Each structure stands twice: as C-alpha cells, then as structure tokens.
C-alpha cells in the first residue's frame, strides 16, 4: 500500500516539525479558564434527578419491590424497576451475568434495584429511602476460598463460582526446575484499589423526538455505551447518540462505569420524556463503582547457577466480586504476562476468576499487570538474593531483548527497550553506589529498590482491534479532525493532532479536534489498554496520509511542479525547487473544492493480528509491548512504621515520543497512583460493605506524599506498525513503581511484604516481629 511507504518515509525523517517536542496542549486552555465542560456542567436546572435504589444485602432473592410510598413523596416523578426496561435487562461486559436493574436476586451490597426520578435531589433521596424491598437472604461468600469451597452457594448458578479459567504451557517445567540452582515460592495478594477520580460518575440524557435519545456522559468507550443503551432500550444503534464530555479522570474505571450510568439516565429520560441526570455522590462512587480486581498469586520460580531464569510456575486467582465484568480480559492479561519482562524457558500458568458477593472489579490502569509484576518482581529479588547476585544485575541477565520470547512464546523481533530502560535508571540513580550507601539516617531506615515492567498494548485475548478517524480540510484551509478516542486528561487527542500536523505540515492551531460523538465521529473503539495514541493516532495518520496525497496532487498542478517536489509546511504548499513558488492551504482548499477533489479522508488502522492456542495459551498475545523500569528510594520510620518515598527514577520505552511532556505527565500520575496502591490505599470491606468510601479514610496521595521524581528517561525503540512508531504509555509506569517501592522497603527493613498495601500499621507491627 502506498500510504505505508509514505508513512515509512515520514518515520525516517531526521527532524520532525512537532513530533518529539513538548508543546503546550491546546485543550488545556479552557480547563485553566474554568470553561471546560464536564458532564455535570451541561445539566439544566429543570432536569430530572435520578438516584439509584441499591441492595442493602450482599446476597439475597428479591421477594418484592414496593414503590407506592416513594411515589407519594412530593417531587418524586417515577420509580423505575426492571419491568420498565423495554429492551433486554442485561449490561454484562464479557458475560451476560449482570442485569441493569435487579428484580430477581442481588449479588452485592449496592446492587441496583430501582431508579428514583425526581424534581430535585432532596425528593430523590427521600424517594430512595421510601422504596421497600423485601428480601430472602442467602448465604454470602466473601473470599476466594469461601467461593471455591464445595458447599459454597452458587452466586450465578452453574456448577461452581468460577467465571473463567486460563492456562499457558510453555516448555518442560520439570526440566526447568531441575536445572535451577535456586528456587523460591510464595503467595502474593493484592487488594482492591478504588479509582477516586476527582470527577464522580455522571450522565445526562435528553430525549429527542419520539425515538431518539442523546446521552452526554463521562466515559471511555462511547460506542460501547451506545451499544449497551440500545440494548436496554431495545433500539437500534442509530437511535442513540452518545457524546463523551470531558472526563475528569478515568483510569479504566469509567470504561466500565460509562455504560452502567449512561444506560440508567437514558432509561429515565426515554420513559419519562424529560432530560434526566444521574450523578454519583462521592460515597456512592467509592463504595459501588468498579475497583481494581483483588488477586492472589502463587508463584514458584527458579534460576540456574549463572543467574538465568529456568522456570516459572504460576497460579492466579482473581476475585471478580459480584459480576465477571472484565475478568476474562484481566485474567488473560495476567496470564500472558506471568513471566514478567524476562525470558524464561519453561512457564506454566493456571488462572481462574471467581465470583464473590462483593463490589465487582473492573478496569484500572495497568490492569492485572500491576498484581502480576508485584509477584514477579518480588520473586526476582528473592532469587537474586539466594544466588548472591545484585538484583539489578540479575534482572539484566534475564530481560527480554530483541529475539526473546515472552510468556506465551511470542517472538519479539523489534521495539524491545527493556534493557535500555533498566540501564537508564541504574545509571541515573547511581544504583550500585547508592544501594551500598543508603542506610540509617537519624534513626530512619533507608532502602533502594528496582523493578521492571512490560505491558502489551491493545485489548487482550486476541480480540480483534482496530481504530478509525476522520479529517476534513475546510474551505478556509483549517482542519476538522474527529476521533472516537476520549480525552480523559491524558492528552491523546492532542497527540493525534500533532501526528496530523506533522504529516500535513499544518500549524497545530489550524487543527480542531472534535471528540467522541457517536453520530459524527468514526468508531475508534475504547480508550483503554493504552491504545488511544497508538491505535487512534495511527488511524489519524492514515487519514492524514490519504488527504495529503490529494493535497499534494492539486498543489503540484497549481504550482506547475512534480508531485515529488511539493513540500507541505507551515500551512502552505511549496515547490521545493523554487520555494518562492507556493500556495496557502486556504488557496489550495478552495481549488480542491472547485475541482471536486474530496477534501475529506477516513483513516483506518488495524495492528497485526494476534492469536493464541486455547489449549496451550501460546501465540501472539499483543501486537507490541511497552517497557518500563523504576528505581525507588524509601525511608522508613521505625517508630511509626511509616514509609516515605524519597526519590523515584523512572524510565520507559515508548516506541517514539510524540510529546515528552504528555509522557512525563502520564508517568508522574502513575507514580502517584502506584505509591498510593503500595502504601496507603486501603479499601476496608467487611461482610461485603465498603466502610471507608471517602477521601478522608481512603487515602490517596496528596502533594505532601509525592517523592522527588527524577527526569523521566525516555527510550525510543520505534514500533514498525504504528504512527511514527509510538507505543502506549498510560499504564506501564504504575506497574513498576509498586514493586520498586515494595523491594525498597525490603532493602530498608529486611521485611518482605507479600500483601499490599504496606500501611504504617502493618509495617510497625512487622518491625516488632509480627508476621507481615
């Protein structure tokens, strides 16, 4: 394909116009002015307020739902239950196990039962109180072991509480362990993590005419939201218009919550023929929205006398909570990354995801790779110690390199910068000297830890993946670019604009990005899996290349030169041989319209196919991997058990840096979230009830908790099949920081935590001899 050749030419450019430079993102201006609109900012005052009636029991049959008293409350307009759903009452993501509104059975505390729609918030709250639900309580299961026990109640029927299983069989595991000089084995547990985006879930639905609805919401997958709403309403896709408003942080959570919240608002608006808004309160968001899936990993691994990994045997159990949601994908990601970013000859992995009667898990930055690498990186440290090797040295012997094979035996032939990342942080942190030097300072304990990460880009399980975008050259020489990739704070759309600007030689200001509106933007598929820039941006590049070839053709005729001599730069087309001979994009645009040359282009991109053998799990799990390494220095106060992260040295192989400032922003944010996950974020769930659904008791890092963050080391190993070689950067940094901190705590104290978070209280007790 011709476009591909042009594209390769661009990728080899020696100096770029805008790619690789830190440029102030244009969408930030409205945000700094207070003019950026988030979902709640669109809601008109006379809109109906929707509140959710939720289950008060973790597991029960619903005997009856009585709404009579609620309807008597002044201001309550209606109470909607399952029977008001005109389409299919089903909103499960991977499996059809999740009703939008429950009328048969509830599966966790907080399970939705009814929607109270009222003129104002006060009436809505009173209405929620007044709905009477009669239950027949069932035995509930709260832990993995309870769920797997013989006599456990079956939460979703079936033979057991296992939602899904996975496996990988690579190499001869017996032989692998027989070659090992050192073998270590342990069990690791990671807890829930709550997203705590500062903007809570929100949706605003407006009925249009008699058979259409527009929904504005905070989300990551507008087209998934549309599909789910259409299913609930029993409508076709083109009757539902979904607009993604600017989203105040998402981190995966709003990928899952978007459909759930938007479908409820849409149902209310359509049934009552009035605009309706559903906005979560903070405690509702923190208690009942999806969380990072808790997981338990049994890990046994070995290395030979030379320090080479020989075998890894891994058993994974994911705690789904009440619904499977993304668990099949989460578990598959863990499974496919089980050996870590290391070459291991023999790898056996068995995974399962089990139901419990707790709030269900879902997408969260890093997906299952955070938990998986916590296990892997702890094991690596322990093996190094057993072999008497420096942990960083030991990793260097084993990291994936070009030509290596992954957990699923996928051959990595290029774009593998793991070693460079690791060497980069070693040098920046002065690892070998610092590691020796750090010790007691004024009664405090200091330690230095390292960890690596790899993260496959795009969706899991070989699900087909692709992306699309559109680009129009307007009559005045400006551009309108449309993408279904969401702005969540990460700046992906701005990255797309830079790609378009680079290819077209257009000033960035002349490109206007229109965000997701399912009625006018092409389907770019979800903004998750760190795919927004790599896949969405590659579709942008495809559109720009198509438009470019037409622009060049017309420009050549206008300039009277060869197409090969046309150069597009600064919003003009030049004849390279006679640069004084040029036309502006405005003139060029007008000429294209007059000549009937299409000024619009549709861009499409699909990464190379992935596939795997369901029996062995072997195959191409992801098109490409992003790599990261982190060194962290911590200081432990033995008097309080408190861990302070003093400094962090991050690095990442991003393929190609489209915008270093955006990358830095992603890494800083991931460090903060990882630090919270490692040390302070502790969701307390007792008998299925979340006891600390607020910022005071569920502690996310504040400005006081952040360490010094050293300059981000950007390694560039371009990926052959994406725009300019870029790979996703949103997630990998949270993966390595968590383990780097845990390893540093070990270095400081000699105590290895196999369960997170390492709270001050736990460390305090461990320092006094209790089992960590």
Catalog residues that contact other proteins under the rule CB under 8 A: 22, 24-25, 28-38, 40-41, 45, 195-200, 246-251, 279, 281-282, 488-491, 661-662, 664-665, 668-673, 694-696, 700-704, 706, 709
Q: Which of 75, 249, 402, 660 binds ligand FES (CB under 6 A)?
A: 249
CB of 491 to other proteins, least distance (A): 7
CB of 252 to ligand FES, least distance (A): 15
Helix (H) or strand (E) holding 495, with range, is helix 492-504
- 638 binds ligand FES per the rule CB under 6 A: no
Residues 549, 555, 557, 558, Cα dihedral to 10°: 170
- 660 binds ligand FES per the rule CB under 6 A: no
Q: Are 326 and 363 in contact (CB under 8 A)?
A: yes
Which one of other proteins, ligand FES, none interacts with residue 617, CB within 5 to 8 A by kind?
A: none
Q: Which phi-psi region, left, alpha or beta, contains residue 290 (left: φ > 0; alpha: ψ -120 to 50)? A: beta
Instruction: State phi, psi for 344 to the nearest 5 degrees.
Output: -125, 125
Number of other residues whose CB lies within 10 A of the CB of residue 306: 10
Euclidean distance between CA atoms 220 and 464, whole angstroms:
18
Angle at 423 between CA 422 and CA 428, to 5 degrees: 100
Output the 3-class SS for 164-204: EEEEEEECCHHHHHHCCCEEEEEEEEECCCCCCCCCCCEEE
CB of 245 to other proteins, least distance (A): 11
In sequence order, which residues have a C-beta less than 8 Å from that of residue 396 and are 6 or more positions away?
Answer: 419, 422, 423
**For ligand FES, how many residues bind (rule: CB under 6 A)?**
3
Residue 265 or 488: the one with the smaller Cβ distance to ligand FES is 488
- 200 binds ligand FES per the rule CB under 6 A: no
Which one of other proteins, ligand FES, none interacts with residue 392, CB within 5 to 8 A by kind?
A: none
Residue 382 or 671: the one with the smaller Cβ distance to other proteins is 671
Euclidean distance between CA atoms 619 and 613, whole angstroms:
6
Residue with tokens 């087909």: 464
Residue 249 or 660: the one with the smaller Cβ distance to ligand FES is 249
CB of 753 to ligand FES, least distance (A): 29
Which one of other proteins, ligand FES, none interacts with residue 29, CB within 5 to 8 A by kind?
A: other proteins
Euclidean distance between CA atoms 717 and 18, whole angstroms:
19
Residue 192 or 323: the one with the smaller Cβ distance to other proteins is 192
Which one of other proteins, ligand FES, none interacts with residue 155, CB within 5 to 8 A by kind?
A: none
Helix (H/G/I), strand (E/B), else coil: 214: strand
CB of 197 to ligand FES, least distance (A): 7
> How many residues make up the chain in this entry?
772
Instruction: State phi, psi for 737 to the nearest 5 degrees.
Output: -65, -40
Which one of other proteins, ligand FES, none interacts with residue 471, CB within 5 to 8 A by kind?
A: none
Residue 198 or 411: the one with the smaller Cβ distance to ligand FES is 198
Site string for ligand FES, 480-519 (x = CB under 6 A): ---------x------------------------------
Residue 375 or 662: the one with the smaller Cβ distance to ligand FES is 662
Residue 38 or 604: the one with the smaller Cβ distance to ligand FES is 38
Burial of 209 (C-beta count, 10 Å sphere; 0-12/13-18/19+): exposed
Residue 47 or 545: the one with the smaller Cβ distance to other proteins is 47
Q: Are 555 and 566 in contact (CB under 8 A)?
A: yes
Which one of other proteins, ligand FES, none interacts with residue 65, CB within 5 to 8 A by kind?
A: none
- 29 binds ligand FES per the rule CB under 6 A: no
Q: Are 652 and 626 in contact (CB under 8 A)?
A: yes
Q: Are 336 and 168 in contact (CB under 8 A)?
A: yes
Residue 489 or 725: the one with the smaller Cβ distance to ligand FES is 489
Angle at 673 between CA 680 and CA 463, to 5 degrees: 125
Residue 15 or 703: the one with the smaller Cβ distance to ligand FES is 703
Helix (H/G/I), strand (E/B), else coil: 640: coil
CB of 251 to ligand FES, least distance (A): 10
In sequence order, which residues have a C-beta less than 8 Å from that of residue 145 and are 6 or more positions away?
Answer: none
Which one of ligand FES, other proteins, none interacts with residue 40, CB within 5 to 8 A by kind?
A: other proteins
Euclidean distance between CA atoms 312 and 320, whole angstroms:
25
CB of 702 to ligand FES, least distance (A): 12
Q: Would you state the structure tokens that stand for residue 46, as one six-digit string?
A: 């006379």
Euclidean distance between CA atoms 270 and 214, whole angstroms:
10
In sequence order, which residues have a C-beta less than 8 Å from that of residue 225 and are 6 or more positions away?
Answer: 215, 217, 219, 242, 258, 259, 262, 263
Which one of other proteins, ligand FES, none interacts with residue 195, CB within 5 to 8 A by kind?
A: other proteins
Residue 174 or 283: the one with the smaller Cβ distance to ligand FES is 283
CB of 489 to ligand FES, least distance (A): 5
Which one of ligand FES, other proteins, none interacts with residue 694, CB within 5 to 8 A by kind?
A: other proteins
CB of 718 to other proteins, least distance (A): 23
CB of 248 to ligand FES, least distance (A): 6
- 198 binds ligand FES per the rule CB under 6 A: yes
- Gyration radius of the chain over CA positions: 27
Residue 49 or 334: the one with the smaller Cβ distance to other proteins is 49
CB of 199 to ligand FES, least distance (A): 8
Residue 140 or 700: the one with the smaller Cβ distance to other proteins is 700
In sequence order, which residues have a C-beta less than 8 Å from that of residue 220 and are 6 or more positions away?
Answer: 247, 250, 252, 254, 255, 258, 486, 488, 526, 527, 528
CB of 493 to other proteins, least distance (A): 13
Residue with tokens 């040359």: 597
Which one of ligand FES, other proteins, none interacts with residue 247, CB within 5 to 8 A by kind?
A: other proteins
Q: Are 520 and 514 in contact (CB under 8 A)?
A: yes
Residue 181 or 705: the one with the smaller Cβ distance to other proteins is 705
Residue 203 or 250: the one with the smaller Cβ distance to other proteins is 250
CB of 287 to other proteins, least distance (A): 13
Which one of ligand FES, other proteins, none interacts with residue 646, CB within 5 to 8 A by kind?
A: none
Give every strand in the sheet of 105-106, ordered side by side: 105-106, 60-66, 132-137
Q: Report residue 115 CA to chain centroid gap.
A: 29
Q: Would you state the structure tokens that stand for residue 253, as one six-digit string?
A: 């959570």
CB of 156 to ligand FES, least distance (A): 36
Residue 339 or 486: the one with the smaller Cβ distance to other proteins is 486
CB of 365 to other proteins, least distance (A): 10
Residue 220 DSSP symbol: S
Residue 487 DSSP symbol: P
Euclidean distance between CA atoms 73 and 131, whole angstroms:
11
Which one of other proteins, ligand FES, none interacts with residue 34, CB within 5 to 8 A by kind?
A: other proteins
CB of 488 to other proteins, least distance (A): 6
Residues 86, 87, 88, 90, Cα dihedral to 10°: -90
Upstream peptide bond of 757 is cis (omega within 30 degrees of 0):
yes
Residues that bind ligand FES (CB under 6 A): 198, 249, 489
């Amino acid at each position: 394909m011709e476009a591909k050749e042009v594209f390769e030419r661009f990728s080899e450019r020696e100096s770029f116009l805008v790619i690789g430079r830190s440029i102030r993102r244009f969408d930030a201006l409205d945000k700094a002015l207070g003019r950026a609109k988030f979902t709640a900012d669109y809601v008109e005052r006379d809109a109906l307020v929707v509140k959710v009636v939720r289950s008060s029991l973790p597991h029960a049959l619903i005997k009856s739902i009585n709404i009579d008293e609620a309807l008597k409350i002044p201001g309550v307009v209606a109470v909607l239950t399952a029977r008001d759903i005109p389409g299919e009452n089903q909103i499960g993501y991977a499996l059809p196990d999740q009703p939008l509104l429950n009328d048969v059975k509830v599966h966790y505390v907080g399970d939705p039962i009814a929607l109270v729609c009222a003129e104002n918030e006060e009436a809505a709250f009173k209405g929620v109180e007044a709905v009477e639900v009669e239950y027949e309580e069932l035995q509930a299961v709260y832990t993995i072991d309870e769920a797997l026990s013989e006599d456990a109640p079956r939460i979703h029927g079936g033979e057991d509480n296992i939602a899904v299983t996975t496996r990988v069989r690579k190499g001869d595991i017996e032989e692998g362990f027989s070659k090992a000089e050192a073998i270590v084995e342990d069990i690791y547990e990671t807890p829930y993590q709550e997203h705590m985006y500062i903007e809570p879930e929100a949706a605003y639905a407006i009925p249009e005419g008699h058979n259409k609805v527009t929904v504005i919401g905070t989300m990551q997958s507008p087209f998934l939201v549309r599909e789910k709403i259409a299913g609930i309403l029993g409508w076709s896709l083109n009757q539902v218009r979904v607009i993604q408003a600017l989203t105040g942080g998402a981190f995966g959570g709003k990928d899952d919550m978007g459909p759930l919240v938007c479908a409820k608002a849409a149902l209310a608006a359509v049934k009552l023929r009035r605009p309706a808004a559903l906005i979560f309160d903070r405690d509702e968001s923190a208690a009942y929205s999806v969380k990072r899936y808790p997981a338990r990993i049994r890990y046994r691994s070995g290395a030979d006398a030379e320090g080479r990994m020989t075998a890894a045997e891994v058993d994974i159990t994911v705690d789904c909570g009440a619904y499977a949601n993304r668990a099949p994908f989460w578990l598959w990601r863990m499974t496919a990354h089980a050996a870590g970013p290391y070459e291991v000859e023999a790898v056996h992995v068995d995974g399962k995801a089990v139901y419990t009667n707790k709030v269900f898990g879902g997408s969260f930055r890093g997906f299952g790779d955070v938990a998986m690498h916590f296990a892997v990186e702890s094991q690596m440290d322990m093996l190094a110690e057993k072999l008497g090797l420096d942990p960083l040295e030991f990793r260097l012997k084993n990291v994936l390199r070009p030509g290596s094979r992954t957990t699923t035996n996928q051959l990595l032939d290029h774009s593998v910068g793991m070693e460079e990342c690791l060497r980069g942080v070693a040098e920046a942190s002065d690892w070998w000297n610092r590691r020796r030097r750090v010790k007691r300072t004024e009664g405090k304990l200091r330690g230095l830890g390292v960890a690596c990460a790899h993260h496959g880009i795009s969706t899991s399980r070989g699900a087909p993946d692709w992306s699309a975008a559109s680009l129009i050259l307007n009559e005045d020489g400006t551009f309108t670019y449309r993408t279904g990739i969401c702005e969540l704070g990460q700046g992906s759309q701005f990255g797309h604009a830079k790609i378009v600007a680079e290819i077209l030689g257009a000033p960035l200001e002349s490109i206007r990005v229109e965000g997701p509106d399912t009625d006018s933007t092409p389907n770019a598929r979800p903004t998750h899996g760190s795919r927004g820039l790599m896949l969405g941006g590659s579709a942008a590049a495809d559109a720009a290349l198509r438009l470019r070839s037409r622009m060049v053709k017309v420009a050549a005729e206008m300039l009277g030169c060869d197409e090969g001599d046309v150069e597009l730069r600064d919003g003009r087309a030049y004849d390279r041989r006679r640069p004084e001979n040029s036309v502006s994009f405005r003139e060029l645009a007008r000429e294209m319209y007059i000549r009937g040359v299409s000024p619009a282009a549709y861009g499409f991109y699909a990464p190379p196919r992935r596939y795997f053998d369901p029996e062995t799990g072997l195959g191409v799990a992801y098109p490409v991997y992003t790599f990261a390494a982190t060194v962290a220095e911590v200081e432990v106060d033995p008097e309080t058990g408190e861990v302070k992260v003093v400094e962090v040295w991050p690095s990442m192989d991003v393929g190609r840096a489209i915008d270093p400032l955006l990358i830095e922003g992603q890494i800083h944010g991931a460090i903060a979230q990882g630090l919270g996950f490692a040390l302070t974020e502790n969701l307390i769930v007792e008998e299925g009830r979340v006891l600390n659904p607020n910022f005071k008791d569920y502690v996310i890092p504040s400005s006081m908790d952040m360490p010094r963050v050293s300059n981000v080391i950007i390694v560039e190993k371009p990926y052959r099949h994406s725009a300019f070689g870029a790979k996703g950067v949103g997630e990998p940094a949270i993966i390595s920081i968590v383990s780097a901190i845990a390893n540093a705590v070990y270095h400081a104290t000699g105590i290895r935590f196999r369960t997170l978070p390492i709270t001050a209280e736990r460390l305090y007790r461990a320092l006094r001899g209790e089992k960590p």
